[in-house]
Amino acid sequence: MKKLNYESSGSLGIITLVDSPLNLIGLDLVKGLEEAVCWAESHPLRGLLLKADEGNFSAGADVNIFVGLNPERAEEMLSGFLKLINRIEDLPYPTMAAVRGMCLAGGLELALGCDFIWAAENATFGQLETSIGAIPFAGGAQRLAARAGTARAKGIVLGASVHSAAEFEKWGIVNRILPETDLNSKASKFMEKVAEAGPTVALGYCKALINTFSRSGLEAADELNNKLSQRIFDTDDLQAGISSLLKNGPGKAVFRGR
């Protein structure tokens, strides 16, 4: 059974989880995500939206895949999922997870790999791995700490509790909350605008700076900053942005993503 679909709408890539109602993360879904990310990496996209049209965004891992795993096989399987999250994070354009219903454990880690998380009012979130004696296998603990701080992350991860969209927005993990009926349409509209009209290279460079700071600290981010500050002057978008500002004032530039 197919677990997801991926397609493009103009310059926006769209990955839709279709194994409702739970969209459990098993081997087939991970394989489908790997194919979708390969596609996103190799196509001239300028934005990516990850969503579910029915049921829940993802209730987490299908724990059947953990039964009988030895440490060596576990390391191979689980490091592969973390690498997949890294690849989503490193896409050179903005990404968004539009979350409805449950977003738990591995499902939350998948959402945390995206730049933006927009949530339906009914969405619930949890990093629940410690409830079965496990840890967040795909970097959820450290990514929650990067977004919400270490004290809040410890409360979420060690407590293995479920939280509302309003709580996650208050803590800076979720960017925006919408009625469920509006979530996907408004998320698509926002991301289509980013993909069609945004200064893609500049946005990608800003992502790289923030990711580098999160992973390697201020000194490494400053070093990269100097390199990217030079490269950005080779882009058509910067020249167009400067020209438009001088001629027409702010906020009227047309960017082509190059």
In terms of average pLDDT, the best of 13-27, 53-67, 235-249 is: 13-27
For position 12, what pLDDT does the model report? 98
Could you report the per-residue pLDDT of 149-188, keeping only the tens digit for each?
A: 999 999 999 999 999 999 999 999 999 999 999 999 999 9
For position 49, what pLDDT does the model report? 98
For position 253, what pLDDT does the model report? 82
Q: Which residues contact 102 (CB under 8 A, 6 or more apart)?
A: 22, 56, 57, 58, 59, 60, 123, 124
User: Residue 89 has which token pair?
Assistant: 């994070």
Residue 147 reports pLDDT greater than 90: yes
Residue 71 vs residue 142, higher pLDDT = 142
Q: Give me the chain's average pLDDT, please.
A: 94
For position 210, what pLDDT does the model report? 95
* Beta strand extents in the chain (DSSP E only): 4-9, 12-17, 47-52, 95-99, 102-104, 116-120, 124-126, 163-164, 176-178
Residue % of the chain over a pLDDT of 90:
83
**Domain positions in the chain:** 4-196, 199-248
For position 223, what pLDDT does the model report? 96
Could you report the per-residue pLDDT of 85-132, keeping only the tens digit for each?
A: 999 999 999 999 999 999 999 999 999 999 999 999 999 999 999 999
Q: Which of 110, 146, 109 is nearest to 129 (CA)?
A: 109
Beta pairing partners, 13? 8, 48
CATH superfamily of 4-196: 2-enoyl-CoA Hydratase; Chain A, domain 1 (3.90.226.10)
For position 250, what pLDDT does the model report? 84
Averaged pLDDT for residues 56-83:
85
Beta pairing partners, 4? 17
- Terminal alpha carbon distance of the chain: 39
Q: Strands 95-99, 116-120: parallel, antiparallel or unpaired by DSSP?
A: parallel
Q: Quickly state the pLDDT bin for 240 (edges 50, 70, 90).
A: confident
